[in-house]
């Protein structure tokens, strides 16, 4: 849906491109997104509260 897999999940150009495309389509970050990392490149698309981790994302470990 968003093209070839790239980025590897780290805060690099490939991951930023995917997260930006996802936010443009769905208006939110993907569930897997680490909200403890900054995401200024989608601040214009996603509500500020959605950019922050409400609690530790323990399910990711």
Residue 26 pLDDT? 93
Residue 24 pLDDT? 95
HSE, CB side, 13 Å, CA atoms: give it for residue 18.
18
pTM value surpassing 0.85 = no
Residue 33 pLDDT? 86
Q: What DSSP letter does each residue of 11-55 carry, written as one string?
A: SSHHHHHHHHHHHHHHSS--TT--TTS--GGGTTTS-GGGGS-SS
Q: Give pLDDT tens digits for 8-56.
A: 667 788 888 889 999 999 999 998 888 888 889 999 999 887 887 666 6
């Amino acid at each position: 849906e968003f093209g070839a897999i790239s980025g590897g999940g780290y805060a690099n150009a490939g991951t930023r491109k995917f997260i930006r495309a996802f936010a443009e389509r769905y208006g939110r970050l993907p569930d897997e997104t680490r909200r403890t990392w900054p995401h200024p490149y989608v601040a214009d698309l996603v509500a500020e509260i959605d950019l922050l981790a409400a609690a530790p994302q323990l399910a990711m470990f």
